[in-house]
Amino acid sequence: PKHGYGKHFNPCIDCHAKMFEVAKRLMVEEGADFLISGEVLGQRPMSQNGESLQKVLQMSDCEGLLLRPMSAKLLEPTIPEINGWVDREKLEEIVGRTRDRQMQLIEEFGIVDFEKPGGGCLLTDEHFSRKIRDIVAHDDAFIKADIPTLKYGRQLRLPDGAKLIIGRTEEENIKLEEIENPKFMHINTDLFGPHCLISLSASEADKTLAAKLVLAYCKPDFEGEQVLSFGNETIMSLCDLGRNDAQKYFI
């Protein structure tokens, strides 16, 4: 991204500019006259300072069209304010990280269903960002279908480069079962255990290792070789590794 990343993998300025670029296009298509954003001046030290807010306007070609009502009195008047479509005197002058005024407005307007304050972007999460960096380093292209593969399960990178995903909870197992991604195949077994995925391009060595690791996370009430389905391929494997052996492969 032109303006770099935040603390982790979050390109906030470029991302905001892209969002408003798309929003402006939709504004024109829908016959609307201006845009509204809930941004607050100074709420984020890097992406919502005065300079960054202005950069976003310039990059998205939204100068004059984007009304930020929470901090409007501290910013240059926009077209809807200048034209009298919106009364500038009724807008706010909130600045900084505190959300006291926002909570006061929520109470005044009687709003009971609202998003709780705090982060929400996965790209600001340290662990999720590490998984993003890993996929960028190992894959030729990042596709939309990759997103759910990053959100669920234990993520492992095996010696020959294959990625193994092992579900952690019943809810995650259901989500992983629903994934359709041309880069992955599903691993199935009749045992009580996690749902797993592995790179479609996995080497035989990585598949052999993956089978042992999958069995290590199954309920240990079986003996001898077990049958695992890797897509259309059947692999027989013993459970001769433990969960501690998986630690070295975690992303």
* pLDDT tens profile 56-111: 999 999 999 999 999 999 999 999 999 999 999 999 999 998 899 999 999 999 99
Whether residues 136 and 82 share a domain: the answer is: no
The answer to whether position 6 is within a domain reads no
Whether residues 130 and 245 share a domain: the answer is: yes
Whether residues 164 and 111 share a domain: the answer is: no
The rounded percent of the chain whose pLDDT value lies above 90 is 86
The answer to whether position 82 is within a domain reads yes
Please name every residue paired with 157 in a beta bridge, in sequence order, or none if there are none: 163
Give counts: helices (H), strands (E), the chain. 8, 8
Whether residues 155 and 86 share a domain: the answer is: no
Strand-strand pairing, 66-67 and 35-36: parallel
Which whole number is the average pLDDT over 34-48? 91
> What is the torsional sign of CA 130, 131, 137, 142?
negative
Which whole number is the average pLDDT over 172-183? 97
Task: Examine the fold and report which residue of 118, 151, 174 is the final residue of a domain before the chain moves on.
Answer: 118
The answer to whether position 140 is within a domain reads yes
Whether residues 154 and 240 share a domain: the answer is: yes
Phi, psi of 106 (to 5 degrees): -60, -45
Whether residues 140 and 100 share a domain: the answer is: no
Query: Per residue in 10-34, pLDDT tens?
Result: 999 999 999 999 999 999 999 999 9
Whether residues 154 and 213 share a domain: the answer is: yes
The answer to whether position 89 is within a domain reads yes
For residues 82 and 84, give the distance between their C-alpha atoms in angstroms, rounded to a whole number: 5
For residues 152 and 156, give the distance between their C-alpha atoms in angstroms, rounded to a whole number: 12
Q: Which domain holds residue 32?
A: 12-118
For residues 35 and 62, give the distance between their C-alpha atoms in angstroms, rounded to a whole number: 9
Number of domains in the chain: 2
The answer to whether position 64 is within a domain reads yes
For residues 148 and 183, give the distance between their C-alpha atoms in angstroms, rounded to a whole number: 12
Query: Per residue in 102-154, pLDDT tens?
Result: 999 999 999 999 887 766 788 988 999 999 999 999 998 999 999 999 999 99
Phi, psi of 236 (to 5 degrees): -95, 135
* Element of type H or E holding 28: helix 12-30
Q: Residue 114 has what pLDDT?
A: 84
The mean pLDDT value of the chain amounts to: 94
Whether residues 26 and 101 share a domain: the answer is: yes
Task: Examine the fold and report which residue of 71, 92, 118 is the final residue of a domain before the chain moves on.
Answer: 118
Give percent helix, percent strand, percent coil of the chain, each to the nearest 5: 40, 15, 45
What pTM, to 2 d.p., does this model score?
A: 0.78
Task: Examine the fold and report which residue of 79, 97, 118 is the final residue of a domain before the chain moves on.
Answer: 118
Whether residues 160 and 212 share a domain: the answer is: yes
The answer to whether position 102 is within a domain reads yes
Q: Is 82 helix (H, G, I), strand (E, B) or coil?
A: helix
For residues 88 and 72, give the distance between their C-alpha atoms in angstroms, rounded to a whole number: 7
* Element of type H or E holding 156: strand 154-157
Weakest-pLDDT range from 56-60, 122-126, 208-212, 240-244: 122-126
* Residue 237 clears pLDDT 70, i.e. is over it: yes
Whether residues 213 and 111 share a domain: the answer is: no
* Residue 72 Cα distances to 100, 128, 173, 208, angstroms: 17, 34, 46, 60
The answer to whether position 222 is within a domain reads yes
The answer to whether position 3 is within a domain reads no
